[in-house]
């Protein structure tokens, strides 16, 4: 029911080249008058169909005459029209303060703001709410001046003035035709941190980051990131900004991270506000990445938008790839790559292996909001990365230049992008297109055979993509794999790095002149988003962890060693830890390595990732195996952890790559010291907590304490709460750190926190901080009696009534039931069935929960 299919796409019957919107803003009752210039697209006799979000028009006027022969069908307004072009006016009244879904026009912290992607505009006014209808918008806003002194919309400001009764107005015009999902307005009591950016052609752009007055000091980092992003896009992609103003507004209630509305980005405040006392290094990095991401959308998303929502990855995958490149250029590219791959494996690989798997260009959906997924975003970015790898930098840039030239001002498709890449580079991407069509993570087995007689090594590589829902059998994909061979005795390069493009089920790659036993380094830089299975021994992985000159491959070898050890230990109750301990010791001892890299390399894989390697996930066994390894590594390398901890002290907070690396290593070392069980560990953590001049050190210490049993644990939580209780973003951290605790009593704590006076499901950040984090806590969520599943299902059912989109995004952990033992699987299914049977369930939740059961 209600399935929308990609193959059913038809162009719009009516275009709307111009729209004028007139808002009489008020939190309880906002009047919206829309004047649409509509033009028949071809010789058809279809009426004008304007999407609506449940409202009834107060009036419908065609060419200046009120009409009555309109009708409502499934929420849409049907207007019979006879000519080739008309002016259609509608008026509606909406109630922003009652909008708990946070889609359309809503109230947040006393201000009014909008979120229209994907289908929120129809909740504001009647309109063909689809991305291939592009219009020039003129917007007039009127509101009470004391309550809403600032009135912002897309484009450039053109006029403003006062009205009787303490009201005022402002008019904005955006000259660039845009789809309705990019519309935005903000009315509020806000102040701006302002700056100017001079573009490559010498135009001055007025930049403004708008926040509550008290938050102004926390906007410097975001503003600097915006300026850096604008310069980066000019230098790396030749893209210049096009309006005279660029505004960003931070709001506390937001379903997502941020939104790229033309000239008026609206952000979740967690991706704007930062200072050393309240934001971690992770937060600072995420702010720069999200500011860049939304800014980059001005070209990859706004100037060229999507023809339909099946093409979402056209803008999202490409823009994530662009923001990843930006972040890599701001610090350690190697560490950035490791972080991105860890994120892909944590979120996208499980999605690709589960009931909600879909290609980066899906074939069908029920509710498009459910498709803002790690697959569309992160696998989408990996697909663009593979194109960049195959083409090389110059040809890739020629391809993107051609794409921006050809499709500027249009609503394009993924096919348009790939065809531009081919035409710009001269490289045939026919078979590569399968990456857009096939879901699932390819599994690659690689085996290296050395023939000492002929000095020849032969690598046999096979690929297989497992079945996914609706796709029982798969064709071989194009896999760009970077390979290198090292000599086991001499550590010399036996075969330099090469890029091989695999496109067959099985292939043999021959290396000549290999005079000693070779060790294979494969998928260097994670050149293809695949799972690699090799027959490399623990000794070979240890060798690579010490000698590989590709930082990612070095990290990967270490991870594989750790994974093999943990899987064996979880399966058998015990394993030999020696190889892992030696590899960690070697990494800590290597003074040539960047501390940020060391911190990543010595971290054990997460419980969830260990579970992903097992035929049946056993959360308790994995937890025990991981704790045992952590304790052993902590004890056997005790001196090294103390030395690393002491060496990683930074005098004063500085947000630089070097200082960030030291802070990261310090908290990783603290974690191992605590895991070793020494008496002074809690004291050390508490001293770090109390002495910290920044949130990274404070939160790192708090997380260590919260996992333990010490009296300092309660003290630190209380101190943290009392210090930051009035800061919503930091309070989210307080909820989250407790929901992620590996303690046995976490479920009881989280149940209590759900009743805490500061907990509310109405704020998505708070809901995610408690419920989302708890569902990611493998030990607590998967409690054998099913109490964790029940708690989450109860919360999601309650949240669905307020905010279906946010609730539906938290279904996937329950959908992983096939990966668990029969008892847990039955308990998870039971909760999914209860959700599906809930009266009044949203379309969002129904799609996610019913597909998860199938």
DSSP 724-748: HTT-HHHHHHHHHHHHT--STTHHH
Within a 10 A sphere around the Cβ of 415, how many other Cβ atoms? 14
| Among Zn ion, ligand HT7, none, partner that 495 touches (CB below 5 to 8 angstroms by kind) | none
| Among ligand HT7, Zn ion, none, partner that 256 touches (CB below 5 to 8 angstroms by kind) | ligand HT7
C-alpha dihedral over 360, 364, 366, 372, to 10 degrees? 10
3-class secondary-structure state, position 279: coil
Query: Is residue 712 a contact residue for ligand HT7 (CB under 6 A)?
Result: no
Query: Is residue 545 a contact residue for ligand HT7 (CB under 6 A)?
Result: no
Query: Is residue 255 a contact residue for ligand HT7 (CB under 6 A)?
Result: yes
| Among ligand HT7, Zn ion, none, partner that 805 touches (CB below 5 to 8 angstroms by kind) | ligand HT7
Query: Is residue 369 a contact residue for ligand HT7 (CB under 6 A)?
Result: yes
For ligand HT7, what does the binding mask look like between residues 789 and 828, x meaning CB under 6 A?
Answer: ----------------x-----------------------
CB-neighbour burial class of residue 64 (10 A; exposed 0-12, middle 13-18, buried 19+): exposed
Query: Is residue 372 a contact residue for ligand HT7 (CB under 6 A)?
Result: yes
Check: CB of residue 684 under 8 Å from CB of residue 721.
Answer: no
CB-neighbour burial class of residue 368 (10 A; exposed 0-12, middle 13-18, buried 19+): middle
Q: Could you tell me the smallest distance in angstroms from the CB atom of residue 257 to ligand HT7? A: 6
What the block records as the tokens of 72 is 């409502």
Within a 10 A sphere around the Cβ of 10, how many other Cβ atoms? 6
3-class secondary-structure state, position 76: strand
Alpha-carbon distances of 818 from 470, 509, 852, rounded to whole Å: 17, 37, 10
Q: Could you tell me the smallest distance in angstroms from the CB atom of residue 183 to ligand HT7? A: 13
Query: Is residue 256 a contact residue for ligand HT7 (CB under 6 A)?
Result: yes
User: Which residue of the set 294, 351, 367, 556 is catalytic?
Assistant: 294
The residue range among 93-101, 310-318, 408-416, 697-705 that interacts with Zn ion, by the rule CB under 5 A, is: 310-318
Q: How far apart are CA 315 and CA 260, in angstroms?
A: 11
CB-neighbour burial class of residue 159 (10 A; exposed 0-12, middle 13-18, buried 19+): exposed
| Among Zn ion, ligand HT7, none, partner that 369 touches (CB below 5 to 8 angstroms by kind) | ligand HT7
Q: Could you tell me the smallest distance in angstroms from the CB atom of residue 301 to Zn ion? A: 7
| Among ligand HT7, Zn ion, none, partner that 372 touches (CB below 5 to 8 angstroms by kind) | ligand HT7
The residue range among 289-297, 538-546, 796-804, 818-826 that interacts with ligand HT7, by the rule CB under 6 A, is: 289-297
Query: Is residue 309 a contact residue for ligand HT7 (CB under 6 A)?
Result: no
Query: Is residue 665 a contact residue for ligand HT7 (CB under 6 A)?
Result: no
Q: Is 294 a catalytic residue?
A: yes
DSSP code, position 41: -
Query: Is residue 311 a contact residue for ligand HT7 (CB under 6 A)?
Result: no
Alpha-carbon distances of 29 from 22, 71, 166, rounded to whole Å: 14, 23, 17
Query: Is residue 117 a contact residue for ligand HT7 (CB under 6 A)?
Result: yes
Q: Which one, of 531, 500, 149, lies nearest residue 344 by Cα?
A: 531
Contacts of 398 (CB under 8 A, 6+ apart): 424, 425
| Among Zn ion, ligand HT7, none, partner that 308 touches (CB below 5 to 8 angstroms by kind) | none
Query: Is residue 260 a contact residue for ligand HT7 (CB under 6 A)?
Result: yes
Query: Is residue 232 a contact residue for ligand HT7 (CB under 6 A)?
Result: no
The residue range among 292-300, 462-470, 577-585, 625-633 that interacts with ligand HT7, by the rule CB under 6 A, is: 292-300
**Distance between terminal CA atoms of the chain?**
15
Give, as ranges, the residues between 429 and 488 that touch Zn ion (CB under 5 A).
Answer: none
Cis amide leading into 118 (omega within 30): yes
Q: Considering CB under 5 A, how many residues would be counted as binding Zn ion?
A: 2
Q: Could you tell me the smallest distance in angstroms from the CB atom of residue 293 to Zn ion? A: 5
Q: Could you tell me the smallest distance in angstroms from the CB atom of residue 700 to ligand HT7? A: 29
Classify residue 471 as left (phi > 0), alpha (psi -120 to 50) or beta.
beta
Q: Could you tell me the smallest distance in angstroms from the CB atom of residue 294 to ligand HT7? A: 5
Q: At what angle do helices 414-425 and 393-407 cross, to 10 degrees?
A: 130
Alpha-carbon distances of 193 from 220, 246, 247, 249, rounded to whole Å: 8, 12, 10, 11
Please identify, using beta-carbon distances, which residue of 379 and 698 lies nearer to ligand HT7.
379
According to CB under 6 A, which one of 281, 294, 339, 564 is a site residue for ligand HT7? 294
In this structure, are strands 85-94 and 59-62 parallel, antiparallel, or unpaired? Answer: antiparallel
The residue range among 27-35, 37-45, 72-80, 253-261 that interacts with ligand HT7, by the rule CB under 6 A, is: 253-261
Within a 10 A sphere around the Cβ of 452, how many other Cβ atoms? 11
Give, as ranges, the residues between 316 and 355 that touch Zn ion (CB under 5 A).
Answer: 316, 319
Q: Could you tell me the smallest distance in angstroms from the CB atom of residue 258 to Zn ion? A: 8
Check: CB of residue 364 under 8 Å from CB of residue 3.
Answer: yes
Please identify, using beta-carbon distances, which residue of 232 and 372 lies nearer to ligand HT7.
372
Please identify, using beta-carbon distances, which residue of 300 and 738 lies nearer to Zn ion.
300
| Among ligand HT7, Zn ion, none, partner that 117 touches (CB below 5 to 8 angstroms by kind) | ligand HT7
According to CB under 6 A, which one of 27, 118, 648, 716 is a site residue for ligand HT7? 118
Q: Could you tell me the smallest distance in angstroms from the CB atom of residue 708 to ligand HT7? A: 38
Please identify, using beta-carbon distances, which residue of 152 and 628 lies nearer to ligand HT7.
152
Spacing of C-alpha 302 from chain mean position: 19
Q: What is the chain's alpha carbon radius of gyration, rounded to the nearest angstrom?
A: 28
Please identify, using beta-carbon distances, which residue of 185 and 567 lies nearer to ligand HT7.
185
- 622-627 — which CB contacts under 8 Å span 24+ positions? 622/566, 622/570, 622/778, 623/742, 623/778, 623/779, 624/570, 624/573, 625/566, 625/569, 625/570, 625/575, 626/566, 627/675, 627/742
Check: CB of residue 151 under 8 Å from CB of residue 187.
Answer: yes
Query: Is residue 223 a contact residue for ligand HT7 (CB under 6 A)?
Result: no
Please identify, using beta-carbon distances, which residue of 293 and 782 lies nearer to ligand HT7.
293
Q: How far apart are CA 462 and CA 473, in angstroms?
A: 16
Check: CB of residue 565 under 8 Å from CB of residue 580.
Answer: yes
Please identify, using beta-carbon distances, which residue of 319 and 746 lies nearer to Zn ion.
319
Please identify, using beta-carbon distances, which residue of 259 and 845 lies nearer to ligand HT7.
259
Q: How far apart are CA 310 and CA 300, in angstroms?
A: 16
Query: Is residue 114 a contact residue for ligand HT7 (CB under 6 A)?
Result: no
Number of helices followed by number of strands (H, E) in the chain: 30, 31
Query: Is residue 115 a contact residue for ligand HT7 (CB under 6 A)?
Result: yes
For Zn ion, what does the binding mask look like between residues 257 and 296, x meaning CB under 5 A?
Answer: ----------------------------------------
Residue nearest ligand HT7 (C-beta atom): 256
Residues with catalytic annotation? 294
Contacting positions for ligand HT7 (CB under 6 A) = 115, 117-118, 255-256, 258-260, 293-294, 297, 316, 369, 372, 805
Chain residues that interact with Zn ion, rule: CB under 5 A: 316, 319
């Amino acid at each position: 029911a209600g399935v929308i299919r990609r193959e059913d796409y038809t162009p719009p019957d009516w275009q709307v080249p111009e729209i004028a919107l007139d808002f009489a803003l008020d939190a309880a009752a906002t009047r919206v008058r829309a004047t649409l210039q509509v033009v028949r697209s071809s010789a058809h006799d279809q009426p004008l169909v304007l999407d609506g979000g449940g409202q009834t028009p107060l009036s419908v006027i065609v060419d200046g005459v009120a009409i009555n022969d309109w009708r409502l069908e499934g929420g849409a307004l049907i207007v019979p029209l006879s000519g080739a072009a008309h002016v259609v006016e509608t008026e509606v009244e909406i109630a922003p303060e009652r909008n708990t879904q946070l889609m359309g026009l809503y109230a947040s912290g006393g201000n009014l703001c909008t979120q229209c992607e994907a289908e929120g505009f129809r909740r504001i006014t009647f309109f063909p709410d689809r991305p291939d209808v592009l219009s020039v918008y003129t917007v007039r806003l009127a509101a009470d001046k004391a309550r809403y002194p600032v009135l912002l919309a897309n484009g450039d400001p053109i006029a403003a003035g006062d009205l009787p009764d303490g009201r005022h107005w402002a008019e904005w015009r955006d000259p660039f035709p845009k789809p309705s999902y990019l519309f935005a307005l903000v009315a509020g009591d806000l102040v701006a941190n302002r700056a100017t950016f001079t573009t490559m052609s010498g135009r001055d752009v007025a930049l403004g980051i708008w926040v509550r007055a008290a938050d102004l000091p926390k906007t410097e980092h975001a503003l600097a990131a915006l300026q850096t992003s604008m310069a980066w896009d000019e230098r790396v992609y030749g893209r210049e900004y096009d309006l005279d103003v660029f505004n960003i507004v931070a709001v506390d209630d937001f379903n997502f991270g941020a939104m790229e509305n033309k000239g008026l980005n609206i952000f979740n405040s967690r991706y704007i506000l930062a200072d050393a006392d309240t934001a971690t290094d992770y937060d600072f990095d995420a702010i720069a990445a999200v500011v860049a991401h939304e800014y980059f959308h001005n070209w990859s998303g706004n100037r060229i938008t999507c023809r339909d929502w099946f093409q979402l990855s056209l803008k999202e995958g490409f823009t994530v790839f662009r923001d990843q490149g930006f972040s890599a250029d701001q610090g350690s590219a190697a560490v950035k790559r490791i972080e991105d791959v860890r994120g892909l494996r944590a979120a996208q690989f499980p999605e690709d292996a589960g009931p909600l798997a879909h290609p980066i260009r899906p074939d069908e959906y029920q509710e498009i909001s459910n498709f803002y997924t790690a697959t569309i975003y992160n696998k989408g970015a990996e697909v663009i990365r593979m194109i960049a790898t195959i083409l090389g930098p110059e040809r890739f840039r020629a391809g993107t230049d051609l794409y921006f030239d050809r499709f500027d001002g249009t609503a394009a498709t993924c096919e348009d992008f790939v065809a531009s890449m081919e035409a710009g580079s001269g490289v045939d991407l026919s078979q590569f297109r399968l990456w857009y069509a096939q879901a699932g993570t390819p599994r690659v087995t690689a085996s290296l055979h050395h023939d000492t007689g002929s000095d020849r090594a032969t690598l046999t590589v096979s690929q297989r993509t497992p079945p996914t829902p609706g796709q029982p059998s798969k064709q071989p994909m194009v896999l760009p794999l970077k390979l290198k061979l090292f000599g086991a005795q001499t550590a010399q390069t036996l075969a330099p790095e090469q890029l091989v493009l695999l496109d067959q089920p099985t292939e043999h790659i021959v290396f000549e002149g290999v005079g000693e036993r070779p060790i294979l380094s494969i998928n260097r830089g994670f050149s293809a988003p695949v799972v690699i299975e090799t027959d490399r021994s623990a000794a070979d992985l240890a060798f690579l962890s010490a000698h590989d000159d590709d930082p990612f491959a070095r990290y990967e070898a270490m991870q594989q060693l750790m994974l093999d050890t943990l899987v064996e230990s979880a399966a058998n109750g015990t394993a030999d830890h020696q190889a892992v301990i030696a590899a960690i010791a070697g990494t800590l001892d290597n003074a040539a390595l960047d501390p940020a890299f060391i911190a990543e390399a010595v971290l054990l894989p997460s419980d969830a990732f260990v579970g992903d390697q097992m035929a049946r996930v056993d959360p308790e066994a994995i937890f025990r195996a991981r704790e045992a390894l952590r304790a052993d590594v902590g004890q056997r390398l005790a001196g090294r952890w103390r030395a690393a901890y002491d060496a990683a002290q930074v005098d004063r907070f500085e947000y630089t790559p070097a200082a960030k690396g030291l802070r990261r290593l310090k908290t990783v070392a603290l974690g191992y010291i605590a895991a070793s069980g020494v008496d002074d560990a809690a004291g050390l953590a508490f001293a770090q907590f109390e002495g910290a001049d920044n949130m990274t050190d404070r939160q790192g210490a708090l997380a260590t304490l919260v996992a333990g049993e010490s009296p300092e644990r309660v003290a630190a939580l209380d101190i943290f709460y009392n210090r930051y209780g009035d800061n919503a973003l930091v309070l989210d951290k307080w909820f989250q750190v407790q929901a992620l605790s590996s303690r046995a009593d976490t479920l009881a704590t989280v149940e209590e926190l759900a009743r805490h006076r500061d907990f509310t499901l109405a704020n998505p950040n708070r809901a995610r901080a408690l419920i989302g984090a708890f569902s990611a806590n493998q030990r607590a969520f998967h409690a054998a009696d099913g109490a964790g599943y029940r708690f989450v299902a109860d919360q999601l059912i309650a949240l669905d009534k307020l905010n279906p989109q946010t609730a539906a995004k938290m279904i996937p952990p329950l959908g992983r039931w096939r990966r668990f033992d029969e008892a847990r699987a039955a308990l998870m299914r039971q909760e999914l069935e209860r959700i599906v049977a809930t009266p009044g369930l949203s379309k969002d939740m129904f799609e996610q929960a019913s597909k998860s059961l199938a």
